[in-house]
Amino acid sequence: MGRGLVLISLGLRDELDMSLRALEEARSCERLYMEAYTTVLDTDPERVSRLIGKPVTEASRELLEENADRLLLEASKMRVGLIVGGDCLAATTHVALLVEDSKRRIPFRVVHGSSIYTAVSETGLSLYKFGRSVTMPLHGGADTPYNVVCENMSRGLHTLILLETDRKTGRHVHVGEAVERLLEAEERAGRGFLDEETLMVGAARIGSVDQKVLADRAGRLLKEDFGRPPHVLMVPGSLHFMEAEALKALAGCPEELLTRAARPRRSLADVVGRYLRSVDKVLGDVRSSRQALDERARRVLEEAERYFMDAKHYFDRGDLTTALSAVAYSEGLLDALRMIGLLEFEW
């Protein structure tokens, strides 16, 4: 590749997190930029420049987002490198740049690097058990992060919440503030997913020598000082016993929190399972009570039985939401019969 755009990941914290490939690619570029607004790093263009041995210009949001034409025009004439903190494609901004580049048929290369998305495994939580992740913005409510946490929790999955930092003002959402805003959102919604006793994991500066990782009850994290940004907050879903052990050993989690968290309070499978057992019991009771039913009531009862069987079928196949709607519908049919006085039973 002669001319073209090279996206070069810097990795988690500073220039020593660059891979040998990243360094080699950077050294082969005629012009180098460093993007320093989507991530918070322990380095700056000057230090990176010293390592590479070539000048490195700081790239503003304006250059990359509104004025990308200029950058791509350069890349169409010479080899231009853009150094980005973390993994260079974790932020959609840089994917967008690559798309623009590719539309103009300008060659490109990508060098990947370490990223907070995988480095959170240092808490002891397993990567494959994270549901979707979400950012908590500096301004505005926490309803979206809260909803994502509830959605993941109800499936037993962990949530990674990235906490926003404003590089210009230095203001950032710290762990305690994020916990507070989640608890406020819980209070407004009243869904019963979170309270001060909920196990959460706060982390700061993962990958640097002074990183801090702490798993504890929300009420404790509220008051904990995690120091300099970047911070992230994780809300675990259900825990495999290996994860529980790891949280204790690697993130100082108090023992008593683990037994509780290991059994999720309300996983969807639990909810549907409970529904199924209770409808199953009622159908059994009704059958053995041999109540005299009129023709129409019998048809409704048969329908309830049919939907119950469907619900079990979907439940066994792991389609929990279809199972839920079928069993709730069946319950509605049964309750209507009971309320009208055509069938006697107790839940």
* Euclidean distance between CA atoms 85 and 307, whole angstroms: 53
Contacts of 66 (CB under 8 A, 6+ apart): none
Strands 57-59 and 31-35: parallel
Q: Which residue in the set 29, 82, 98, 239 belongs to the binding site for its own copies (CB under 8 A)?
A: 98
Using alpha carbons, list the distances in angstroms from residue 342 to 279, 288, 328, 335, 346: 17, 16, 19, 10, 13
Asked if 127 touches its own copies (CB under 8 A), the answer is yes
Residues 178-237 that bind its own copies (CB under 8 A): 189, 191, 206-207
CA distance 100 to 78: 17
Which range, of 74-82, 196-204, 223-231, 312-320, touches its own copies by CB under 8 A? Answer: 312-320
Nearest-angstrom CA–CA distance, 247 and 153? 17
Nearest-CA neighbor of 267 among 155, 132, 128? 155
C-alpha–C-alpha distance, residues 9 and 22, integer Å: 7
Instruction: Give CA–CA dist 85/9, Å, rounded.
Output: 6
CB of 195 to its own copies, least distance (A): 16
Closer residue to its own copies, CB minimum distance, 73 or 249? 249
Tokens coding 159:
């949530």
Of residues 31, 47, 129, 265, which one binds its own copies by CB under 8 A?
A: 129
Binding residue (CB under 8 A) for its own copies from 63, 68, 262, 297: 297
Residue 172 Cβ, how far from its own copies at the closest point, in Å?
A: 19
Q: Write each residue from 4 to 33 as x if it is in contact with its own copies (CB under 8 A), else as -, in one continuous string.
A: -----x-xx--xxxxxxx-xx---------
End-to-end CA distance of the chain: give it in Å, rounded. 71
- Smallest gap from Cβ 96 to its own copies, in A, equals 6
Shortest distance (Å) from residue 12 CB to its own copies: 6
Give the three-class secondary structure for 35.
strand
337 counts as binding its own copies under rule CB under 8 A: yes
CB of 93 to its own copies, least distance (A): 10
Nearer to its own copies, 67 or 102 (CB): 102
Interface with its own copies, residue 277, by CB under 8 A:
no
151 versus 224: smaller Cβ distance to its own copies: 151
Using CB under 8 A as the binding rule, whether residue 75 contacts its own copies is answered as no
Residues 226-245 that bind its own copies (CB under 8 A): 242, 245
Q: Please give the Cα distance from 27 to 111 (Å, whole number).
A: 13
Of 36-65, binders to its own copies (CB under 8 A) are 51
Residue 138 vs 269, nearer CB to its own copies = 269
Amino acid at 155: R
